[in-house]
Amino acid sequence: MKKIISHNRYFAVEMIVGLLTFIAVLIFGDVGFILFSFFAILAFFKREKMDERESQLFHKANTGTLATVYLSMFPVYFFMPSFNWLMVLACSFIFFRGLWGLLMFRFG
């Protein structure tokens, strides 16, 4: 099977899955994590072997993701202790990785 080579689609799907999972968990509770399984769809979008520039942009996207997820967990931990912090961590990771990936591949 030939894989689709579109990083914009790949990161857009990541953002959508992260956002929809977060909304579904807020509405339906822990059952909303079923939408997290759509993350497996990304296996059809990723290229098998990346070139040097793509791997550098992925690295930059992962570094930006780490910083934004780290900063997004502060308000959740300190100001909203009733939130399920693991759910927020997982959904924010997927969402921000998609966002940073789109930014890196578009402007990076």
More confident residue, 50 or 76: 76
Is residue 8 predicted with pLDDT exceeding 50? Answer: yes
Stretch (H or E) spanning 53? helix 52-79
Q: Are 3 and 47 in contact (CB under 8 A)?
A: yes
Q: pLDDT of 38-69, one tens digit each?
A: 887 777 766 667 778 888 888 888 899 999 98
Task: Answer with the residue of higher pLDDT: 97 or 45.
Answer: 97
pTM higher than the cut 0.75: yes
Say which amino acid occupies 104: M
Q: Provide the residue ranges of all domains of the chain, joining segments of one domain with +.
A: 7-37+52-107
